[in-house]
Amino acid sequence: MKAITSLLRHFVVQKARFSNKEAAHCIAAGRVLVNGQKGYLNQVLLPEDTVTLDGAVIKAPQAFIYLAYYKPRGVESTLNPNIENNLAQALGLKERVFPVGRLDKESEGLMLLTNDGVFYNRISHSDNHQEKEYVVTVNKALTSEVIAQLAAGVEIMGQKTRPAQVAQVGEKAFRIVLTQGLNRQIRRMCYKLGYEVERLVRVRVVSIEVGELQPGEWREFHLEEV
């Protein structure tokens, strides 16, 4: 998912149905304003920009949506309408938003959804080492050795996972903060150490927390929260 951009001249040609020469004269004469300022030929337009021609709006700013959603167990992290129990069905929104990262069907908790491509790429790109925090319940008692191994990294799928922050919070439960998102990473790590995951809840992505959201609920958030 990428932010949609275009050059001002090309945009005026398409929107006003001018020739390239007419669009260039129009822009040079100051008839085209971008966010209230005189535009220039090869100015790159961003989704949030407002463009006017002779005072009439020909491009309104795109309204970005940022949602914190508690994905229930059993909902698939996809917008594919051909897959049962998909996100689009679960959310029931008119606006199209995209999940930032995934949670497997049997996992639950916080998902971020947006139509802002820049934000999407910044959070979802694994090289950015963005923190994601989970509370995990396994099928038998944990040991200090297992907690230490989870923190140090576990060999899965031919590679060792990055070091993680791990703290035991119950006889069979622990918190873990990851900075990568390998496929079914926590489940694979636990399985490699002889455990099965009984419940996996994501409670935080960067600085956005699931808070008091209940399964199936969502709230809007602002970029200032991140």
Give the pairing of strands 197-205 and 108-114. Answer: parallel
Question: Average pLDDT in the 121-125 region?
Answer: 77
Question: Average pLDDT in the 37-53 region?
Answer: 90
Question: Average pLDDT in the 51-55 region?
Answer: 95
Q: Residue 29 corresponds to which amino acid?
A: A
pLDDT of residue 24: 94
157-163: which pairs have CB atoms within 8 A and are 24 or more residues apart?
Answer: 157/182, 157/183, 157/188, 161/185, 161/189, 162/129
Among 169, 191, 189, 173, which Cα is nearest to 181's?
A: 189
Asked whether the beta carbons of 107 and 198 are under 8 A apart, the reply is no
pLDDT at 2 over 50: no
Please tell me the class of the 66-225 domain: alpha beta
Q: Is the dihedral of CA 215, 162, 127, 187 positive or negative?
A: negative
Residues 6+ apart with CB under 8 A from 92: none
Which residues are tagged catalytic? 104
Question: Average pLDDT in the 98-120 region?
Answer: 90
Where are the chain's structural domains? 6-59, 66-225
pLDDT at 126 over 70: no
* Of 7-11, 80-84, 94-98, 145-149, the least confident: 94-98
Fold of 6-59: 3.10.290
pLDDT of residue 50: 93
pLDDT at 220 over 50: yes
pLDDT at 3 over 50: no
Give the pairing of strands 66-71 and 108-114. Answer: antiparallel
Question: Average pLDDT in the 121-133 region?
Answer: 79
Asked whether the beta carbons of 120 and 144 are under 8 A apart, the reply is no
pLDDT at 200 over 90: yes
State the residue for tokens 């956005």.
208
pLDDT of residue 128: 66
Among 171, 131, 130, 177, which Cα is nearest to 151's?
A: 177
